[in-house]
């Protein structure tokens, strides 16, 4: 499972946001100025009335939102425009015609909406007279059976004005004043846009608690929203890099609940819905707000977010089917199971059942969307696990079980052909004071596994606060051992 620090990102330009989010970028769009929306409506009326397209130079400084405006006309005036075509080819009649005909294949056969075209690769390089003539001819042909509008973004106001004058000189006056000046969202929206961008791009809330909070930046100090986002993006990336470099080797931790629970139960209420198993600090506190540990972390929410992110901290369930099979099949000495007639099939069976659990999938980086409980028959496994629980998990017995699980992880990774260096049990990490139950040493990171062996259906709603408190205590211990807090 890739460390969460390697997944965090804050793009600062529309193109990179689009690449990262795909169609989900629609959730980030903020309507431009009313004057810009009205311009699109007027252009739509003109184009449909004249039944031919228009060249619209867009003027605005870098980061104001010219590309966002041009690429989302369908969002700003619904029903009037198709999705936008990003054009990067030659500016001659045949090339433009071919591109539009190809683009139109993705549209309904009876499409009557205007096709917006964004020419964003020629900024500060205006069209020659021959190219401008080709564009004029192209705009009058309606290659796809419907008119188009061609947007030409320019940062330099004078270049945009000169292009507008040249176009009007050969095509006649437009119904709107050219160039169209892009105004972008109001300043008082910028902080919320940045916060929402940070959350949506990473599928995680509260990342501002890592130390880069859009509320700490003054929009009035920046020329454009793009500049504002670029500064926050730069500082966020520096912060993530600093967190990566604090430990000699990246460390992740998975807190594993081994009990009679056959599914994750309450863990689904305190982990991310988008990143399976990853803990949600605010949810953890919300289910145990009056406990001592809940109050302790409530005063240190920034530290909690940092601890979860820096440790890529997850919580998983290991149900009886997998747990009993692992203990039975990865250990040749288990008289308790021998006396009960719980048969040992060997490591191959153990690997099969282990791989079907969330922990097995997590360690092998297999897709996880829901819990699976296949393998050893449920009633047999549950009876075996109950027998194990009745014998007790204290007095050091859990240490023996942790040793067996280390053997199981070794077999699991070998059989899955995943490269790793070694698996340890109850051994100190060589570069920091942590002593995890298991540690899996990969080439460039260490995955710690902390087990809590419990009787009964421990992940039921009855134990929700207890589960949250246990996780918070474990995270507190890790933060202390790593020197992130002295409290």
**What is the average pLDDT value for the chain, to the nearest integer?**
91
The predicted-structure confidence for 91-132, as pLDDT tens digits, reads as follows 999 999 999 999 999 999 999 999 999 999 998 999 999 999
Q: Which residue has the tokens 């899996």?
A: 440
Using pLDDT thresholds of 50, 70 and 90, give the confidence band for residue 1. Answer: low
The predicted-structure confidence for 144-153, as pLDDT tens digits, reads as follows 899 999 999 9
> Which residues, including other chains, have CB under 8 Å from residue 470's CB and lie 6 or more apart?
255, 452
CB 57 within 8 A of CB 178: yes
Strands 422-425 and 314-318: unpaired
Q: What is the mean pLDDT of residues 79-90?
A: 95
**Residue 157 and residue 379: Cα distance in Å, rounded?**
75
Cα 83 versus chain centre, distance? 25
- Give all strands (DSSP E) within 218-272, no chain letters: 251-258
Specify the pLDDT at position 377. Answer: 47
The predicted-structure confidence for 21-72, as pLDDT tens digits, reads as follows 887 787 778 888 899 999 999 999 999 999 999 999 999 998 899 999 999 9
Torsion of CA 48, 51, 57, 63, to 10 degrees: 40
Specify the pLDDT at position 28. Answer: 79
Specify the pLDDT at position 371. Answer: 44
Q: String of b and e for 333-346 (b: at least 16 CB within 10 Å)?
A: ebeebeeeebebee
Q: What is the mean pLDDT of residues 214-231?
A: 95
Domains of the chain: 4-18+186-245 (no CATH), 31-181 (3.40.50), 251-481 (no CATH)
Q: What percent of the chain has pLDDT over 70?
A: 95
CA 316 vs CA 262, 362, 464: distances in Å: 12, 9, 14
Question: In residues, how long is the chain?
Answer: 487
Task: Give the pair of three-digit tokens for residue 321.
Answer: 């089917």
Task: Give the pair of three-digit tokens for residue 429.
Answer: 């990490």
Specify the pLDDT at position 368. Answer: 66
Closest to 368 in 3D by CA, of 408, 321, 410, 316: 316
179 upstream amide cis, omega within 30 of 0 = yes
133 vs 341: which has the higher pLDDT? 133
- Tabulate helix, strand, coil % of the chain (nearest 5): 50, 10, 40
Going by the DSSP 8-state scheme, the letter that residue 270 receives in this structure is S
The predicted-structure confidence for 280-313, as pLDDT tens digits, reads as follows 999 999 999 999 999 999 999 999 999 999 999 9
């Amino acid at each position: 499972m890739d460390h969460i620090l390697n997944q965090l990102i804050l793009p600062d330009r529309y193109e990179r946001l689009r690449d990262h989010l795909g169609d989900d970028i629609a959730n980030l769009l903020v309507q431009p100025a009313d004057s810009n929306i009205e311009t699109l409506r007027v252009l739509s009326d003109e184009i449909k009335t004249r039944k031919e397209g228009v060249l619209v130079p867009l003027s605005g400084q870098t980061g104001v939102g010219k590309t966002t405006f041009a690429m989302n006309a369908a969002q700003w005036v619904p029903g009037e425009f198709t999705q936008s075509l990003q054009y990067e080819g030659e500016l001659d009649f045949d090339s433009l015609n071919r591109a539009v005909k190809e683009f139109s294949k993705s549209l309904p056969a009876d499409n009557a909406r205007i096709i917006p075209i964004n020419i964003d690769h020629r900024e500060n390089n205006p069209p020659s007279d021959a190219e401008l003539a080709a564009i004029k001819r192209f705009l009058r042909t309606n290659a796809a059976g419907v008119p188009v509008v061609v947007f030409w973004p320019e940062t330099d106001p004078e270049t945009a004005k000169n292009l507008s004058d040249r176009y009007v000189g050969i095509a006649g006056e437009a119904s709107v004043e050219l160039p169209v000046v892009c105004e972008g969202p109001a300043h008082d929206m910028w902080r919320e846009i940045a916060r929402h961008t940070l959350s949506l791009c990473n599928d995680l809330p509260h990342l501002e608690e890592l130390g880069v909070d859009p509320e700490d930046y003054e929009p009035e100090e920046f020329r454009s929203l793009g500049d504002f986002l670029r500064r926050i993006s730069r500082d966020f990336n520096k912060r993530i890099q600093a967190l990566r470099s604090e430990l000699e080797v990246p460390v992740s931790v998975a807190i594993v609940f081994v009990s009679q629970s056959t599914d994750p139960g309450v863990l689904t209420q305190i982990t991310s819905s988008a990143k399976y198993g990853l803990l949600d600090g605010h949810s953890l506190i919300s289910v145990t707000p009056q406990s001592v540990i809940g109050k302790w972390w409530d005063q240190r929410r920034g530290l909690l977010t940092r601890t979860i992110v820096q440790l890529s901290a997850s919580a998983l369930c290991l149900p009886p089917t997998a747990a009993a099979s692992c203990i039975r099949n990865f250990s040749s000495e288990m008289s308790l199971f021998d006396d009960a007639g719980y048969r040992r099939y060997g490591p191959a069976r153990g690997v099969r059942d282990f791989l079907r659990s969330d922990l097995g999938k997590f360690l092998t980086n297999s897709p996880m969307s829901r819990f699976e409980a296949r393998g050893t028959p449920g009633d047999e496994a549950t009876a075996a696990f109950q027998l194990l629980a009745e014998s007790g998990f204290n007095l050091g017995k859990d240490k023996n079980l942790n040793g067996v699980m280390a053997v199981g992880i070794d077999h699991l990774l070998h059989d899955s052909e995943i490269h790793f260096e070694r698996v340890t049990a109850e051994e100190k990490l060589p570069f920091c004071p942590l002593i995890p139950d298991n540690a899996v040493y990969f080439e460039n990171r260490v995955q710690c596994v902390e087990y809590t062996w419990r009787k009964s259906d421990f992940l039921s709603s009855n134990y929700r606060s207890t589960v949250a408190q246990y996780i918070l205590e474990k995270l507190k211990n890790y933060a202390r051992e790593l020197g992130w807090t002295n409290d």
